[in-house]
Amino acid sequence: MKPEISEISQISPDQSVVCILGKCEIPSFLSLTKSEKEYAIRRLKEKEEMVFINSYFKCTYLVKVKESVTGYREKEEVRKAASGMKKLLKSNNHSELVITSYATYKGAIEDFTEGLILSVYSFRKYKKEDEDEKRKNYPSRLLLYGDKGKSEIRWLTSLTDAVYFVRDLINEPVNHLNATALGAAIARTGKDAGFRVDVLTKGKIEALKMGGLLAVNRGSVDPPVFCILEWKPPKPVNKEPLVLVGKGIVYDTGGLNIKTGDYMASMKGDMAGAATVTGVLYVAAKNKLPLHVVGLVPATDNRPGGNAYAQGDIITMFNKMTVEVGNTDAEGRIILADALSYAAKYKPFLIIDIATLTGSAAVTFSNQAIAMMTNADRKYVNLLEECGKEVYERIAELPFWDEYGDMIKSDIADVKNIGGREAGAITAGKFLEKFTLHPLIHLDIAGTGMLRKDDHYRLKEGPGSGLRLLATFVRRLAAEYKKMK
């Protein structure tokens, strides 16, 4: 159960409070005794970053913002501080908890709240527990006190709701979430948030001649789907839409080039890009952002059964290009390519695709950065970088030179779906670039989207990488367009 967020106008003397401090002073609204204040100030001056005061009828937690960091790093340290406190907060069994700040930067309350909510997520759907056990030691209500508006509360609520939604989808095993079930989940989310969803089934996909999606699906007993999501407000600030494309491989065995060792263990999460795109549309619709956004999600599993596509096959794609299959485990780019070609019908000013695409990206940047390749205008890239710092989902750019395209040339088709061992993340991006004439930003979240252990509030149970980045980008982009009108 995700904690609820609401705003309060004052703090009662008996309420448990977390207060983020910018300096070693204790505000009067915390209602601490003289001895409690003296104890707290002494500990804070000893460079303690968190001071806990148990007044028996309430608890007070004082969190000192680090003086050694500023800007976006300061915001991240506050989120991490919240994550570090989750066990202590749970152990004190708060039904509700006030979060406030004093003499620190604007937004500290929201940052701490966000870090805490994302830290306490757990996927317990299939554990045999009663509802009381599931809620045990949970701060079920977070009460925010301080300088903020209703729009910020709504944004924080919808953003954290979306992260929970993305994580839930990532954690669903394929026997409960095949492509059809993913399409149904996306449709339900659209109905809840107020954006349009069309789920194209196999017959329509065949009529469209999406050869890439159909080829990857050939080894499966479950049919593919192609989901079209659209948030179009009454008076959008953009004439042409932004198109987001998310990889929807609900399970990846590698196909006939089957994965070995433990490389298959986390592959139920290979649809993280699809979940992220859905989450971004959810946030845009819930906040009624005035930006026209389209989401495209091709979805299937990749299996070695039946008439599975094979190394050496030639596939005719949606845009009539032919692809030589060099490796059936490079399937994500094949289904994304059909979606990128399909996006042309919307005449987008920009396309952003997001996918757990290559081990190369994970090897290059580990879990510290999202790999980005682009041919788009630098104003969009710069804005995305700013948003990445703001939410600490940083992007790192790889070169996108034409010479990398030579590495995926084919002797018998228009292009191969894989190059050599070198520059694997870049050649995957160059493959995608061949399927659209519109400006493209390609985001590879293989390193950040599938974690082996918790990274503070980014949990191994599906971190939801890219959701907060793209939602913030869409929000900022809407504001920039609005200024120009």
Residues annotated catalytic, as ranges? 259, 333
If you write DSSP's letter for every residue of 218-258 in order, what string do you get? TT-SSPPEEEEEEE--SS-S-SSPEEEEE-EEEEE--TTS-
For residue 449, how many other CB atoms are within 10 A of its CB? 33
Tokens of 266: 């986390």
The tokens describing 162, both together, are 């979306």
Q: For residues 185 and 177, is the Cβ–Cβ distance under 8 A?
A: yes
Encoded tokens for 102 = 């004093």
Contact 463, 455 (CB under 8 A): yes
DSSP type of residue 351: E
Closest by CA to 231, choosing from 165, 286, 179, is 286
Tell me which DSSP letter residue 77 carries: H
> In whole angstroms, how far apart are CA 150 and each of 470, 475, 477?
22, 16, 21
Euclidean distance between CA atoms 250 and 307, whole angstroms: 19
Beta-carbon-side half-sphere exposure of residue 61 (alpha carbons within 13 Å): 22
Task: Burial-class residue 365 by CB neighbours within 10 Å (0-12, 13-18, 19+).
Answer: buried
Q: Give 249's strand partners.
A: 300
The CA distances from residue 371 to 169, 263, 367, 406, 445, in Å, are 23, 20, 10, 21, 7
Q: Tokens 């996927």, residue?
A: 123
Instruction: Assess contact for 394 and 472: CB atoms under 8 A.
Output: no
List Cα–Cα distances, 87 to 90, 93, 137, in angstroms. Answer: 5, 10, 9
**Rounded to an integer, what distance in angstroms lies between the CA atom of residue 270 and that of residue 335?**
13
Q: Within 13 Å and on the Cβ side, how many CA atoms surround 444? A: 29
Quick one: which H or E segment has residue 440?
Answer: strand 440-444
* Three-state DSSP state, 186: helix
The number of angstroms, rounded, from the C-alpha of 293 to the middle of its chain's C-alpha atoms is 16
- 128: tokens are 């045999």
- Are the beta carbons of 298 and 386 closer than 8 angstroms? no
